[in-house]
Amino acid sequence: MDRTRHMTIHTGERNQVCQFCGKAFAKDSTLREHVRSIHEREQKHICLECGFTTYRSNNLRVHIRMRHQGEYNNHVCPVCGARVKQRTAFLEHMRSHTGDRPFRCDQCTASFACVARLTVHRKSVHEPRQYKCDQCLKTFQTKHHLLRHAFIHTENKPFSCPYCKYSCNTQGNITKHVKSVHHKTDFSYRK
């Protein structure tokens, strides 16, 4: 392994970003595994004890270890009692109490509690958007966001307001509508 890639272990830097969903990874091999197992789904792996299914064999191993062998949530926050699975996630959680945001963008004033959010920020704010909608020419950072957007150009509006005749094409929009128009602040749309 070359020194630059090895250093990401210590810095937590995640420069490899998934073009489909924007998730960031430290190693290109981890990104490739993510794309293969999440976005190019092949066979499912099934837990024989409880029926849990996943497309990643490693997720199944972690599931078995955490759920069935008792190695679950072993980092406990001394401030709020939250339980976290991994040490890095625990350190990031602790920053929510301290307000520490050590990862700073070198192109603007933004700063973040974890390097993954900085990487996503750089990609979404400072890099050119490469995925263009062929109907309205709006551009997006990831293929996933373009595909999600493309749904607005269809006539399909499966989300209907239970209080009026309004309908729309996303769950988020129907929730916003009900909360703002009908003042139902605790509304949650469940199909």
92: Cβ contacts below 8 Å, ≥ 6 apart: 113, 114
Tell which wins on pLDDT, 77 or 39.
77
Dihedrals φ, ψ of 88, to 5°? -65, -40
How does pLDDT run across 116-173, given as a tens digit for each residue?
889 889 888 898 888 899 999 899 888 888 888 888 888 888 888 999 999 988 888 8
| Alpha helices by DSSP H, 48-187 | 57-63, 87-98, 115-121, 143-150, 171-181
**Residues, the chain, total?**
191
Going by pLDDT thresholds of 50, 70 and 90, the confidence category of residue 182 is: very high
Question: Average pLDDT, stretch 28-33?
Answer: 83
- In a 10 Å sphere around its CB, with 0-12 CB exposed, 13-18 middle and 19+ buried, how is residue 40 labelled? exposed
In DSSP terms, 131 is beta-bridged to 140
Question: Average pLDDT, stretch 29-53?
Answer: 79
Q: What is the DSSP letter of 157?
A: -
183, pLDDT greater than 70: yes
How does pLDDT run across 60-103, given as a tens digit for each residue?
888 887 777 766 657 888 898 888 877 788 888 899 889 999 99
Q: Are 115 and 103 in contact (CB under 8 A)?
A: yes
The structure's pTM equals 0.44
